[in-house]
Amino acid sequence: MTLHVDMDAFYASVEERDRPELVGKPVIVGGTPEGRGVVAAANYVAREFGVHSAMPAATAKRLCPHAVFLRVRMEHYAAVSEQIRTIFEHYTPLVEPLSLDEAFLDVTGCLALHGSEVAVGRSIKQEIRDRLALVASVGVAPNKFLAKIASDLEKPDAFVIVDAEKVQAFLDPLPIGRLWGVGRVTGKTFQQLGVRTIGQLRQMPVTLLHQHFGSNGDHLWELAHGVDQRPVIPEHEAKSISHEKTFPRDLDDPDVLHAWLFELSEQVACRLRRLDLKGRTIQLKVRFDDFHTVTRAQTLSEPTNVTQKIWRTVVTMLTQRMPSRRLSIRLLGVGVSGLGQQKQTQLSLFADRQDERQSRLDEVADSIKEKFGSTSLQRGLGLLHRIDPKSGAKDPNQDQYDE
């Protein structure tokens, strides 16, 4: 059995925990509404006003003018994420992080010690609440796909179990949009076919799915039948580290897309530095509104774990190496592969001086936070609202770190 553990409104919940005076108020974490900022996270109070992640901060301000806007503290959230990971690893070594706030866990091998899958899931949920004062939603199911759907069904504070003998009873009533890969365009096609639930899709012949969705028809058919063969892959066995984000609504604003690429790049870079790793190959994943997915990769002359280097590379790939088509994007992903320990890599005699400066800043920041605490130094994510709309480049006069 597989668990999917997803922290509820993670960034905003950490801020509320650290600043109790925010509890009960609408809290939005991300860029400033005065610039080109985007919403990275919103608590459930703010969501009642229609605010959601990936929304321009200016729009969020109009919807919820009395909201408290806070800058992203990525290093702090990464430190809290490590505490959550420690709890996971008390129960099983088979932990596959998807991002700072969610992970898959294979608990099959730990049942003799900790009890049933359900008992393990409830224990993890309670331990996160008791030790970290945070709330997690948990899905317990036979595979990754089902567990992820389960954890999301009754948020916040969800605990949903999918019985292996009742998979179809669980899936059939759900709307077609719950399937991975069914976005706005694919959803319209299903609507034209009169298919609105997963159960109705399950009754469709595979040949008809092929006719309308090509090779993706097999994927949709398998998911509708609850089939997902992917194993949980622990981070230390992974050949790459990546993060991706599926947006509630398709994005077409270049500034917003660049801002999200920065957020994803920073999450990846934080994990690389915490694992003492660097990578040579930078990867970009883009899924358009019609589910057409494009991946691009660029191999650097030197391995890196520098946020700015990763971000500049993926922005270049997005702006220069995508198909000639309208940018209506449902998912973005950033990854780094070709991993090696930092001590196994050597700096080039001709290394980019700006990259060296950024690397030194990262190292100094990490050392200060290790000595004085994760909140003693914060990365200034002014980039989220100070992007050059023509080049995607950051204002060269903006500091990288704020005290």
pLDDT tier at 363 (50, 70, 90 boundaries)?
low
- The amino acid at 275: L
What's the full length of the chain, in residues?
A: 403
> What does the angle CA 75 – CA 78 – CA 79 come to, to the nearest 5 degrees?
90
CA dihedral 109→110→116→121, nearest 10 degrees, is -110
Looking at the DSSP assignment, which residues form a beta bridge with residue 306? none
Predicted pLDDT of residue 31:
83
Angle between helices 353-372 and 307-320 (to 10 degrees): 130
pLDDT in tens, 329-361: 989 999 999 888 655 444 444 455 666 666 666
Predicted pLDDT of residue 356:
62
pLDDT in tens, 243-290: 888 887 888 888 889 988 998 998 899 888 888 889 999 999 998 887
Looking at the DSSP assignment, which residues form a beta bridge with residue 387? 394
Predicted pLDDT of residue 349:
45
* Sole residue written with tokens 């990846």: 268
pLDDT in tens, 101-123: 999 999 988 887 888 999 999 99
What's the CATH code, domain 1-162?
Answer: 3.30.70.270
Predicted pLDDT of residue 93:
92
pLDDT in tens, 9-54: 999 999 999 999 999 999 999 888 887 678 989 999 999 999 998 8
* Sole residue written with tokens 């700015």: 308
Half-sphere exposure of 141 (CA within 13 A, CB side): 29
Query: How many helices (H) and strands (E) would you count in the chain?
Result: 15, 14
Cβ(35)–Cβ(385) below 8 Å: yes
| Same topology between domain 1-162 and domain 168-224 | no
Cβ(206)–Cβ(225) below 8 Å: no
Cα–Cα dist 263/304, whole Å: 17
Cα–Cα dist 390/225, whole Å: 46
CA 109, 113, 116, 118 torsion-angle sign: negative
Among the ranges 28-32, 88-92, 370-374, which has the highest mean pLDDT value?
88-92
pLDDT > 70 fraction of the chain, expressed in percent and rounded: 84
Q: What is the DSSP string of 354-383?
A: HHHHHHHHHHHHHHHHHHH-TTSSEE-GGG
Mean pLDDT, residues 71-94 taken together: 92
198: pLDDT strictly greater than 80: yes
Among residues 160, 155, 122, the alpha carbon closest in space to that of 43 is found at 155
Cβ(293)–Cβ(287) below 8 Å: yes
Residue of 271 and 166 predicted with greater confidence: 166
Predicted pLDDT of residue 359:
62
Residue of 276 and 362 predicted with greater confidence: 276
In angstroms, what CA-CA distances link 399 with 142, 222, 296, 380? 48, 49, 30, 7
CB-based contacts of 214: which residues, under 8 Å, 6+ apart?
none
Q: Which of 67-71, 215-219, 243-247, 368-372 has the least mean pLDDT?
A: 368-372
CATH superfamily of 239-379: DNA polymerase, Y-family, little finger domain (3.30.1490.100)
Predicted pLDDT of residue 360:
62
Residue range 168-224 in CATH 3.40.366.30: no
Cα–Cα dist 311/125, whole Å: 34
Is 5 in a helix, a strand, or coil? strand
| 117 catalytic residue (yes or no) | no
Is 331 in a helix, a strand, or coil? strand
Q: Name all contacts of 183-187 with Cβ < 8 Å and 24+ positions apart.
A: 183/250, 183/287, 183/289, 183/290, 183/291, 183/330, 184/250, 184/289, 184/330, 185/289, 185/290, 185/291, 186/213, 186/290, 186/291
153: pLDDT strictly greater than 80: yes
235: pLDDT strictly greater than 90: no
Domain ranges for the chain, please list them. 1-162, 168-224, 239-379
Give the mean pLDDT of the chain.
84
Among residues 15, 16, 96, 102, the one annotated as catalytic is 102
